[in-house]
Chain A
Amino acid sequence: MTGPPLLVAVQWVFLAYFIGLQLTYILLDLIAIRVIRRGGEAGSVSALPQSYSGLEPPVSLLVPAFNEEATIVASIWSLLQLEYPSFEIVVVNDGSRDSTLEVLKREFDLRPFPEATRISVPSRRLLGMYRSARFRNLRVIDKENGGKADALNAAINSARCPLVCIVDADSVLQRDSLTLAVRPFLEDATTVACGGTIRIANGCRVSEGFLEEVGMPRSWLARIQVVEYFRAFLFGRMGWSPLNAMLIISGAFGVFRREAVIAAGGYRTDTVGEDMDLVVRLHRVHRLAGTPYRIVFVPDPICWTEAPESLRVLRSQRMRWQRGLLESLAANRRLLFHRRGGAAGWLAFPVMLLFEALGPLVELVGLALMVVAALSGTLSGPAFFAFLLAAMGMGLLLSASALLLEEMAFHTFERPADLGLLMAAMVLENLGYRQLTAWWRLQATLLWLVRRPGRWGRMERSASWQAPPEGRGAIPPATDSKPAPGGER
């Protein structure tokens, strides 16, 4: 090794970081493979004829909506047709500036409802309550705009069932999603939350709120995100779940025990990462109190959602996720290395902090140093090439193992050409995409450090994957500037 002692020390830090990162991902990958191999039984449940006994806990589906006129009707139709014996739907119109409420009133024949309000968690002022004259289990809350977290708090106050299921208004659920996601609550009374796999709906065909055909997105940007989602869910979530250390449940779909959420204080309204914050807080509250609990991941594909197809929207989403991650970790820092923190406090939290929160910083500094060193002649051509090869190879290997997990468990994309596209996306991800998202995340980190307030930014939806409902004409594209729905993390 050459160079002054400080430089050598820095090099060792980078080396240790690199080794730790790869080992962590490889371990999570191995755990996920084990889960999939043993999970053949759980995966068989959906193939069995369903019979309900009436002892299944009723579920309140909570749907926050802000400027969702393009997708809300199809989403509610899909929810109304879920296969589950007992559920209610509570839609929250969070001060939409478009015709979300009017569309709902027209489609579902909403009538004013004299609800005796109950306040378990605080939320902004309610403007009106409605109930569908067509579907008695559908209610709509109209309220002042307060963001997704505030809308969910209002919905929690109105929910009547012991389990609440959070669903994004632009997402499409599988018919059996509730049956699958409620199962962990039936198998273990200490389960407080359950998340499921989220898939990208771009390229799929959805009609009347249901997925009719799975397809590959047309844009490379969305295709790369398909590979990213495989990695995030197949070993990001599946690896942590058996250790009871999963720190994230997607804001697009998650089932929670209502009383546990209320006891933890409901959703925090001063963060853009309210979904992650709630899950980390549930860990913290239960761990520190020494109360037994489980937070579980169901690997079956449960929910389909739209991924950004423009760099501007993707940037906004990734910056929001990074900020949400930092805010959640900072707000729940007492969990880190707490003597009762368990796997969540001693493994998942430090890994999140080191490799996810600080990842962009280390990665980009590493890249910059390598380029500068190569240009200045400190690093030789072969060394530059060797390090680049190692970096690319490791990235590809992790993506390929996620592809293998997907093929072992679900093989969602049936067409042979789709497999080729996924492999190409896997390669392309390492050629600029990963570095670009790291740069955005680094920007978000710096903005958070200088305490600049977080914003949701503009989120555009094409809803192109939704076939127009019969007789209603084409669905217009929607544009919103959201303080609302979270995407995938």
Chain B
Amino acid sequence: MNTALAPSVESGTLIWIAFAAGLVSLGLTVLLALQVTWMRAMKRRRDRRHLRCLDTWRPILYQAAMGETPEVPALAPKDEASVLLLWNQLQDGLRGRTAREGLNRVAHAVDALAAARRALRRRGAQDRLLALRTLRHLGEPDDFELVRPFLDEPGSTICLAAARALFHVDRTAATPELWRRLRRRTDWPLAQVSAVLHDADLGEAEMTALAAAFAAQVPGLEIAELRRLLPLLSVFGERAAANVVRRLLAPSQVPEVLTAALKQARGEELLPDVVRLCGHPAWPVRTQAATALGRLGGPAQLDLLLTMLADRQWWVRYRAAQALLSGRFGDPEELSRLRGQLQDRFARDILTHVLAETLP
């Protein structure tokens, strides 16, 4: 490609420029090659040190996790990251109070808290994540204020690691901190927010407070926000979720909101709303209503679902057939017999399809 320059003239200046550009490029190439080689050498040195460090510390940490009291050597600053990484991996992987307390004893002996606090002040994402994981396991109340600002970092990984740490330090105080930011931080993957809340093992009181905060905000949420945030209802528990969903299933709601709300519909008190929406003109709403019937309905809705098997939309037919096979409307043998009585070919085909899916 670069030979495009080739026919560019016999001017002394231009030849000199081309020659200089070539030389500079070659020089820079050599410099880059040297830098890559140097980076590689440094990495190999780090890796070797890391392995030596693991050889020393792995038995110590294992002994501590087994409830023994090993002799703990001083931790060299260069080994802090390696030891903290191993320590966190064991904390995440091992279960039981003995293991946790044993590992925490080693952490206190080597002043891991100070090391983690120092790492938190560094700019590297890896350092910060390791620090947040360590502070989470150590759960020192003093660290709440230190960790809180990291909820406002630009990337979601650091923020959610900070949220995880805060919930372990003080879950009551962490709940409003997380909620306050949730609406604004559209970059936080809801699946991971939900995982943070699951791992936090929130009590009844915290969950109720969170659900109440959610319900209070619902009227002010935009459609896109509702669609994004409604899946969180699955964390709050059936009753709290039902209260929010009922309000959203009003006939005047737009299809996008109805669809999102139906996905979260739990609790049989919502059944009349769901049945009503089975005839909604928008097919995504009918699809979700059919799925919800599979969770909430019973024999009284059998005819309705059989009607939906002949819907003009494939997805409605498919979800209606899946609902029929949810176990609330008879066993597969009964439904197999019922299939023979269906007049509509599309209804028969979709039921055959879904019956085959359920076979072992």
**Measuring CB to CB, which residues of chain A are less than 8 angstroms from any residue of chain B?**
1-3, 8, 10-12, 14-15, 17-18, 21-22, 40-45, 47-49, 51-56, 113-116, 118, 131, 133, 136, 183, 186-189, 355, 359, 362-363, 366-367, 369-370, 373, 378-380, 382-383, 385-397, 399-401, 403-404, 407-408, 411, 416, 419, 423, 434, 438
Contact = CB atoms under 8 A, between A and B. Distances in A.
Given A42-B157, A393-B29, A52 B195 contact: yes
7 contacts: A18-B4, A18-B5, A53-B195, A116-B318, A187-B156, A400-B32, A400-B36
B190 interface: yes
Interface of B: 1-11, 14-16, 18-19, 21-26, 28-29, 32-33, 35-37, 39-40, 43-44, 92, 124-126, 129, 133, 155-158, 161, 186-192, 194-195, 198-199, 224, 227-228, 231, 234-235, 314-315, 317-318, 346, 349-350, 352-353, 356-357, 360
Nearest to A389: B22
Contact of A41 (B21, B157, B186, B346): B157
B6 A366 contact: yes
Contacts of A44: 125-126, 129, 157
B352 A116 contact: yes
A387 B8 contact: yes
Given A369-B7, A379-B10, A391-B6, A56 B191 contact: yes
Contacts of A10: 7
Contacts of B39: 407-408, 411
Contacts of A369: 6-7
Please indicate which of the listed interface residues A8, A44, A47 has the most CB atoms of chain B within 10 Å of its own CB. Answer: A44
Given A114-B349, A380-B10, A397-B25, 19 more contacts: A2-B11, A21-B2, A48-B129, A49-B92, A53-B195, A133-B360, A186-B192, A355-B1, A383-B10, A387-B15, A388-B22, A389-B19, A389-B22, A389-B23, A391-B2, A391-B22, A393-B21, A394-B25, A400-B36
Contacts of A22: 2
Contacts of B356: 113-114, 131
Given A44-B126, A113-B356, A401-B32, A359 B1 contact: yes
Contacts of B29: 393, 396-397, 399-400
A403 B32 CA distance: 8
Given A52-B191, A53-B191, A387-B5, A45 B15 contact: no
A2 B10 contact: yes
Nearest to B232: A55
B314 A118 contact: yes
A481 B8 CA distance: 44
B21 A186 contact: no
Contact of B7 (A370, A399, A407): A370
B9 A2 contact: yes
B317 A390 contact: no
A387 B187 contact: no
Interface of A is mostly: helix
Contacts of B18: 383, 386-387, 389-390
Nearest to A8: B9
B8 A116 contact: no
A419 B34 CA distance: 11
Please indicate which of the listed interface residues A53, A188, A363 has the most CB atoms of chain B within 10 Å of its own CB. Answer: A53
A277 B39 CA distance: 39
A11 B8 contact: yes
Contacts of A400: 28-29, 32-33, 36
A313 to B, nearest CB: 23
A14 B4 contact: yes
A366 B4 contact: yes
A40 B124 contact: yes
Contacts of B11: 1-2
B185 to A, nearest CB: 10
A390 B157 contact: no
Please indicate which of the listed interface residues B19, B25, B194, B227 has the most CB atoms of chain A within 10 Å of its own CB. Answer: B25
A399 B30 CA distance: 11
Nearest to A115: B353
A187 B190 CA distance: 8
A416 B37 CA distance: 9
Contact of A396 (B25, B315, B353): B25
A395 B234 CA distance: 55
Contact of B43 (A40, A48, A379, A411): A411
Contacts of B198: 51, 53
Contact of A391 (B5, B155, B194, B350): B5
Nearest to A15: B8
Given A41-B158, A114-B353, A55 B234 contact: yes
B20 to A, nearest CB: 9
A188 B40 contact: no
Contacts of B192: 53, 186
A386 B10 CA distance: 11
Please indicate which of the listed interface residues A2, A22, A394, A404 has the most CB atoms of chain B within 10 Å of its own CB. Answer: A394
A180 to B, nearest CB: 12
A373 B9 CA distance: 10
Contacts of A387: 3, 5-6, 8, 15, 18
B26 A396 contact: yes
Given A403-B33, A404-B35, A1 B15 contact: no
Please indicate which of the listed interface residues A131, A385, A386 has the most CB atoms of chain B within 10 Å of its own CB. Answer: A386
Contacts of A189: 186, 224, 227-228
A225 B194 CA distance: 43
A370 B4 CA distance: 9
A115 B234 CA distance: 32
B268 to A, nearest CB: 22
Contacts of A378: 10
A101 B33 CA distance: 48
Contacts of B231: 55
Contacts of A114: 349, 352-353, 356
Contacts of B7: 10-11, 14, 366, 369-370, 373, 379
A306 to B, nearest CB: 26
A370 B18 CA distance: 14
B349 A116 contact: yes
Contacts of A49: 92
Nearest to B199: A51
Contacts of B133: 48
Please indicate which of the listed interface residues B37, B40, B315 has the most CB atoms of chain A within 10 Å of its own CB. Answer: B40
A407 B36 contact: yes
Given A55-B231, A114-B352, A48 B33 contact: no
Contacts of B6: 14, 366-367, 369-370, 373, 387-388, 391
Nearest to A434: B1
B326 to A, nearest CB: 17
Contacts of A3: 9
A41 B24 CA distance: 34
B32 A397 contact: yes
Nearest to A438: B1
A187 B191 CA distance: 10
A12 B14 CA distance: 11
Contact of B191 (A186, A379, A393, A395): A186
A10 B5 CA distance: 11
Contacts of A47: 126, 129
Given A11-B9, A15-B8, A131-B356, A395 B22 contact: no
B222 to A, nearest CB: 12
Contact of A390 (B21, B32, B44, B161): B21
Contacts of A54: 191, 194, 234
